[in-house]
Amino acid sequence: MNIVRTGLLLAAMTGLFLVIGFLLGGESGMLIALVVAIGMNFFSYWNSDKMVLRMNNALEVDAQTAPEYYNIVADLAHKAQLPMPKVYIIEEDQPNAFATGRNPENAAVAATTGIIRTLSSEELAGVMAHELSHIKNRDTLIMTITATFAGAISMLANFAMFFGGRSRDNPLGFIGTIAMMFLAPMAAMLVQMAISRTREYSADRGGAEICGNPLWLASGLAKIAGGAQSYENEAAEANPAMAPLFIINPLSGARMDGLFTTHPATANRIAELEKLAKEWGITSAGRQTRSSIPKIRRSSGPWG
């Protein structure tokens, strides 16, 4: 169902781009904006992972420098039949995590020191399984496609006065063009956020399947949501476009499952995971009936 909904939302983004392009700039304006936007997003597609990790001052770690965290990711990647991603830690008090990379062969996961301190081994496994599910589902690619169209729509809006506002074929007129300059990017943003929220539900379920216990992730989400309200993530606040990457919205002032949020409400996500656990016959976060992953041992690594 989530795949179908994502497909429909992508189709809506495509249709929105075509309609706005014709209304504002005709075929020539639409093609120019699309070419520029594709060029920008082509660069982002190949370099977005490095850019995001650099903006968050992420430090790559291995089995020697962060044994517990690294081994959790390794165990889950093996269970998910994924190549081992690069593993990063971010010096940040806000508990949060994200995945990045253009495909499973070129992927990375990152977790903050706050989340590693806050969560138990099982909860951390649930969170990292969620991030691996994003990688397995190629959600980064999906979001890159939506960003391409969103960028093209924004460019069309910026060029509206040059292409649409002065065109005899423009049915909107001057006032309509001005209105479209503001409404078009907003509409594109709404579709982009709707896709992001849909992928979060899908990754929650996929993460539960990877780690074997939905309640691990549910318990982790509850703790992360509380911590996210207590600590400000300065890197995310400075670059709000990164917000959809994180497992919990890192930005302040967006705690509801509303129209302009990048993530579903945490309570709704937890409810879905608890429902899934009931279907699987799992009654507690400490007991699991499906996972083949042994209980993860704590270590005395510098990040533990």
- The H-or-E segment that residue 141 falls in is helix 139-158
Residues 6+ apart with CB under 8 A from 117: 95
Residues 6+ apart with CB under 8 A from 181: 157, 158, 160, 161
Tell me the C-alpha distance between 10 and 24, whole Å.
21
3 state SS of 108 = strand
Structure-block tokens of residue 238: 């400075």
Tell me the C-alpha distance between 143 and 236, whole Å.
17
Q: Residue 109's closest CA among 81, 72, 141?
A: 72
Structure-block tokens of residue 38: 């594709």
Structure-block tokens of residue 25: 């700039």
92 is catalytic: no
Residues 6+ apart with CB under 8 A from 142: 6, 10, 195, 199
Tell me the C-alpha distance between 110 and 83, whole Å.
16
CB 103 within 8 Å of CB 234: no
Catalytic position from the list 68, 92, 122, 131:
131
Tell me the C-alpha distance between 270 and 217, whole Å.
8
If you ran DSSP here, which 8-state letter would residue 294 be given?
Answer: P
Active site residues: 131
